[in-house]
């Protein structure tokens, strides 16, 4: 897994987006949040699935993985804006609107969003595969997924949601892009539709678990410990705010056990390829 992550990091650093212009800082801003790091969880999910069945396609899949990371990074940049979460810190660095200005942050996010699909379109994969990848990413990262989740999150600040509404919010805002990452890897690997759906549903549970864990981290860690602005969810619909800290931890425990069970139910190649990545995250709310 370390070797796969290292390969992706090298590919990312050698293929950062560029703007050939006389703008004094836009090109630096374009690459800053990509270079800042993060877990690279979504691209690693995709690449781990590819590795399980079509390892010879790993190199050709790197642009798709980079596109996925670009789209995720754009969402973080916009999520941190003053009109949304108004955060000062991301991945251990100043957020873009703090380091530069709000206009630069908005436009960098826009650029990474569109460049994500350019990366996929220009990957050395069969056109039919690329069309399916674009369908999945645009759906789960767009109005059927992350965008409507973010819209609900922002609109219902200071208004308490029911548990099923909260789950709907975070399945769309967070989980669908994680689920889509697994499905995109399965599409490249030419897994059958049943396996694609199984991985997608598994990804929804993983994504929801991640959100509950993030809510716990926001409540229990400092910004320095977490590498991002924390204790900033007072007005938000979070699992901690709805269930209390103990209730959120129990919900995370239950979902982690379900995810671990479903991981063990995958075929041996998929399980072997994914478990090294996933097992260290399933109980991170316990750390």
Chain segment 143-190, per-residue pLDDT in tens: 999 999 999 999 999 899 999 999 999 999 999 999 999 999 999 999
Gyration radius (Cα) of the chain, Å: 18
- Position 227 scores a pLDDT of 64
- Position 228 scores a pLDDT of 61
- Position 229 scores a pLDDT of 62
- Position 269 scores a pLDDT of 95
Domain ranges of the chain: 2-286
What is the share, in percent, of the chain residues with pLDDT greater than 70?
95
Q: Minimal CA–CA distance to 266: which of 206, 220, 217, 208?
A: 206
Chain segment 222-265, per-residue pLDDT in tens: 766 556 665 566 668 999 999 999 999 999 999 999 999 999 99
Q: What is the pTM of this model?
A: 0.94
Q: For residue 99, give every residue at least 6 positions away whose Cβ sits within 8 Å of its Cβ, in sequence order, or none.
A: 29, 32, 93
- Position 185 scores a pLDDT of 98
Lowest mean pLDDT across 139-148, 205-214, 275-284:
275-284
Mean pLDDT of all residues in 201-222: 94
CATH 3.40.605.10, domain 2-286, yes or no: no
């Amino acid at each position: 897994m370390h070797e796969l992550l290292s390969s992706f990091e090298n590919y990312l650093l050698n293929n950062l987006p560029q703007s050939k212009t006389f703008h004094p800082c836009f090109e630096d801003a374009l690459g800053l949040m990509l270079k800042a790091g993060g877990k690279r969880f979504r691209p690693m999910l995709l690449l781990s699935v590819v590795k399980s069945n079509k390892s010879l396609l790993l190199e050709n899949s790197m642009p798709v993985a980079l596109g996925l990371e670009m789209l995720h990074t754009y969402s973080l940049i916009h999520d941190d804006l003053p009109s949304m979460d108004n955060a000062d810190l991301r991945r251990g660095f100043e957020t873009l609107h703090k380091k530069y200005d709000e206009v630069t942050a908005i436009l960098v996010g826009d650029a990474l969003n569109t460049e994500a699909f350019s990366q996929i379109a220009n990957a050395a994969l069969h056109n039919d595969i690329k069309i399916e990848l674009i369908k999945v990413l645009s759906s789960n990262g767009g109005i059927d997924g992350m965008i409507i989740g973010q819209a609900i999150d922002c609109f219902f600040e200071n208004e308490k949601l029911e548990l099923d509404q909260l789950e709907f919010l975070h399945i769309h805002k967070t989980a669908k892009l994680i689920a889509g990452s697994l499905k995109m890897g399965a599409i490249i690997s030419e897994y059958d539709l049943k396996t694609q759906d199984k991985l997608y549903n598994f990804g929804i549970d993983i994504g929801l678990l991640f959100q509950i864990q993030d809510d716990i981290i926001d409540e229990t860690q400092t910004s320095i410990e977490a590498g991002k602005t924390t204790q900033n969810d007072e007005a938000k619909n979070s699992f901690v705010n709805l269930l209390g800290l103990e209730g959120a931890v129990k919900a995370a425990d239950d979902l982690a056990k379900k995810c671990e069970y479903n991981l063990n139910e995958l075929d041996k190649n998929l399980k072997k390829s994914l478990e090294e990545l996933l097992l260290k995250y399933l109980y991170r709310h316990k750390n």
